[in-house]
C-alpha cells in the first residue's frame, strides 16, 4: 500500500515536471525563432520604388501569413494550458466485476509488424489494469503470424468468388 502511494506521488510529480519542461522548451524555441527571423523588430519596407497600387498589393501579400495566426495561437495555448503527459487513469470499479470485453482489430494485413505491435500493446494494457475477462480478436484478409496466446484469436476473412458472382447476378 505504501509503495503504491509513493509510486503514485512520484508519478504525479514526474508528469508535472514533464509538462513544465515541455512548456519551457516551447517558449525557448519560439523566442529563438523570433530572434533568428528578425521577428517584430524588422524594419518597414520602402515604398518609393513602386507605384501605390503595387505597394498596396505587396502589403496585402505581406499580411497573408497572418491567416494562420488563430490556429497558431490556439495550438500554443493548448500546449501551455493542457498537460501533454497525463497521469494514468484509475479504475472506478473492480476489474473482476467488469463484463467480458472483445477488442477487435480489423486490418487488411498489409503491415503485420504494426498489427503485432498494436495487439501486444492492447494486451499489455488490459493485463496492466487487471482485466480478467477479455479477448483480442484480429480480423484480417491475409494471414498474420500472431504469438500463441489464449486471449488472442485471429479470424481470416476471405470473400468467396462464387458469392460475389451471385451478388452481381442478383443486383444487375
Q: Mean of the per-residue pLDDT values for the chain? A: 77
Q: Is 9 within the bounds of a domain? A: yes
Angle at 15 between CA 13 and CA 17, to 5 degrees: 65
Q: Is 90 within the bounds of a domain? A: no
Domain-terminating residue out of 23, 46, 81: 81
Helix (H), strand (E) at residue 147: none
Q: Report CA Rg, the chain.
A: 28
Global pTM reads 0.48
pLDDT at 167: 45
Flag whether pLDDT at 165 surpasses 70. Answer: no
- Domain ranges, residue 150: 95-171
User: DSSP secondary structure string, 11-61?
Assistant: HHHHHHHHHHHHHHHHHHHHHHHHHHH-GGGPPPPP-TTS-HHHHHHHHHH
Whether residues 116 and 70 share a domain: the answer is no
Segment 57-90, tens digit of pLDDT: 888 888 787 788 888 889 888 888 888 777 776 7
Most confident of 17-31, 40-54, 62-76, 101-115: 101-115
Task: Using alpha carbons, select from 11, 1, 18, 2 the residue that is nearest to residue 87.
Answer: 11
Whether residues 14 and 73 share a domain: the answer is yes
Amino acid at each position: 500500500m505504501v509503495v503504491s502511494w509513493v509510486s503514485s506521488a512520484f508519478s504525479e510529480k514526474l508528469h508535472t515536471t514533464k509538462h513544465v519542461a515541455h512548456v519551457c522548451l516551447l517558449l525557448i524555441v519560439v523566442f529563438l525563432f523570433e530572434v533568428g527571423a528578425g521577428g517584430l523588430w524588422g524594419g518597414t519596407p520602402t515604398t518609393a520604388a513602386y507605384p501605390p497600387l503595387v505597394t498596396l498589393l505587396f502589403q496585402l501579400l505581406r499580411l497573408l501569413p497572418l491567416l494562420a495566426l488563430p490556429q497558431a495561437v490556439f495550438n500554443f495555448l493548448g500546449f501551455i494550458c493542457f498537460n501533454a503527459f497525463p497521469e494514468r487513469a484509475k479504475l472506478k470499479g473492480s476489474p473482476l466485476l467488469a463484463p467480458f470485453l472483445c477488442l477487435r482489430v480489423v486490418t487488411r494485413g498489409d503491415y503485420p509488424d504494426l498489427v503485432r505491435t498494436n495487439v501486444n500493446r492492447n494486451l499489455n494494457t488490459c493485463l496492466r489494469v487487471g482485466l480478467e475477462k477479455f479477448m483480442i480478436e484480429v480480423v484480417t484478409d491475409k494471414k498474420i503470424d500472431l504469438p500463441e496466446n489464449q486471449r488472442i484469436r485471429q479470424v481470416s476473412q476471405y470473400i468467396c468468388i462464387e458469392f460475389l458472382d451471385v451478388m452481381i447476378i442478383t443486383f444487375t
